[in-house]
Structure 1
Amino acid sequence: MADGAAPSGRGLLVVLPAWNEEEALPGVLAELRAAMPEADVAVVSDGSVDRTADVARAAGVRVLELPFNMGVGGAMRAGYAYAARKGYARVVQLDADGQHDPTEIGALVATAEATGADLVIGARFAGKGDYEVRGPRKWAMKLLSSVLSRVTRTTLTDTTSGFKLAGPRAIELFARDYPAEYLGDTVEALVLAARHGLVVRQAAVEMRPRAGGTPSHNPAKAALFLMRALVALFVALTRPRAAGAEATQDQEAGR
């Protein structure tokens, strides 16, 4: 179900998947409005049981409510479907917990315009900021980045980043087929994009600690993250390649 402000244009839509984020969401929306006043905004309340949807409505943005929690992948599929239906040219995924700095959206847009990329990943480990991870999570991220850089034929340093920009071809693809499983919205989405011949690039961004709510992970779950990340990568790589995608990638590589 959708309500709130009607789209003012068909350029950039910022989608915020949100599960019980009433605490952080007002500040994030205020920052977003200040940084990107020209962008339309949609909050996907992912089965929230707090006031997430009410807070978003009070801010005057579009609200998409899911009846139960589907995870980031399911929430973003709803966001992409909405964007495709309304004809938006670009979608930016922004966390509702304050970790993604709205002022960095410009870096994603600039990279898309400069490179013609269909999908731009906001990378924490590309020389900007001091965001750090340690232990098994760091090892998993390095392994994922190494493998997925080969798959996408570009250098990627942060393949689990949820801060990303999708262009028209990516919106069309993700609106009909977006992974909803654990890490599917990051790892498997990158493989899916590559298998369909989309051009993937990254932009260096700075990220912050979450502004409120409950974190998805904690140090005690680091080893589990490693195992699940490897499973997610295996599942992603077993997906069939779309017909013609390899030829498209070869053409892009030869530019």
Structure 2
Amino acid sequence: MRILAIVPALNEANNIGSVVRNLLTTSAWLDVLVIDDGSTDQTAEIARAHGAKVISLPVNLGIGGAVQTGFLYALKNNYDVALQVDGDGQHRGEEIKKLVDPVILKEADVTIGSRFVEKTSYRSAWPRRLGIYLLSKTIQSVVRKNFTDPTSGFRAYNKKALRIVAAHYSTDYPEPDAIVTLLKNGLRVIEISVEMDPRLSGSSSITPFKSGYYMFKVSLAIILNSMMSRIWNE
């Protein structure tokens, strides 16, 4: 069983070494692929120095394009399971097995690490929690299933799911929209309670202004996506 951790990273030189080291220390059975999304710092060099494979994109594609590059790599290189892990240190390597096991055991096609399906130590500001709640309700309105943490980028995919997200994945803030795409195509998507941490250093690229844009754009994408036909047929 070949498993790949896909780590999108933009100017994460202060964090990426710790992220790669944590993944390889806690889950030695993983291959780690860092997608350097047009960084202007030493993200790529530090990732390689800590044992990760690295793809350096010539321009910044955004989170969606970076992660989709990883999905395409996983398919081309015949990985059985692909993980999506943030490059800022929020996702713990110790929690990966919780996501991978249901996929390996064929209990789910996709697992999503959730901070909110059960009570955890994670704390976030109320505006962000409100945004997550509203996106959750938007998704529920179109797929009739509740997801507590639809923005989580801590996920595991089997090959069937990889074929879908490799072909259809939003450019900006793709995680909520991907849930609709996967369910619409008949895949089993479940949430798993995990512990997460604040980012190791630096600040999120999502400013208050971007948060409003994010909510509008993603909500619209979810609604439009729900009206489209299936994109994958076996």
TM-score with structure 1 setting the length = 0.84
Pairing 1:225–2:211 present: yes
Kindly provide the CA deviation profile for residues 41-83 of structure 1, in whole angstroms up to 9, marking residues without a partner as x.
1000000011111111112321111111111111001000000
Task: Please identify, of 17-26 and 146-155, the stretch whose mean Cα deviation from structure 2 is larger.
Answer: 146-155
Report the equivalent of 2:34.
43
Task: Please identify, of 16-25 and 120-129, the stretch whose mean Cα deviation from structure 2 is larger.
Answer: 120-129
Structural mapping, 1:1-255, within 5 Å = 11-113=2-104, 116-181=107-172, 183=173, 185-218=174-207, 221=208, 224-239=210-225, 240-242=228-230
* Unaligned segments of structure 2, at least 5 residues: none
For 2:232 and 2:40, the matched residues in 1 are separated by: 44
RMSD of equivalent CA atoms = 2.1
For 2:36 and 2:186, the matched residues in 1 are separated by: 31
Task: Please identify, of 135-144 and 97-106, the stretch whose mean Cα deviation from structure 2 is larger.
Answer: 135-144
Give the SS at the match of 2:182: helix
Aligned residues: 232
- On the 8 A contact 1:98/1:211 being kept in 2, the answer is yes
Runs of 4+ more than 6 Å apart:
none
- On the 8 A contact 2:176/2:218 being kept in 1, the answer is yes
For 2:212 and 2:102, the matched residues in 1 are separated by: 30
For 1:131 and 1:100, the matched residues in 2 are separated by: 11
Task: Please identify, of 136-145 and 63-72, the stretch whose mean Cα deviation from structure 2 is larger.
Answer: 136-145
- Partner letter of residue 36 of structure 1? S
* Unaligned segments of structure 1, at least 5 residues: 1-9, 249-255
For 2:126 and 2:210, the matched residues in 1 are separated by: 12
> Percent identity at matched positions?
34
TM-score with structure 2 setting the length = 0.91
Give the C-alpha shift of residue 153 in structure 1: 4.7
For 1:176 and 1:64, the matched residues in 2 are separated by: 19
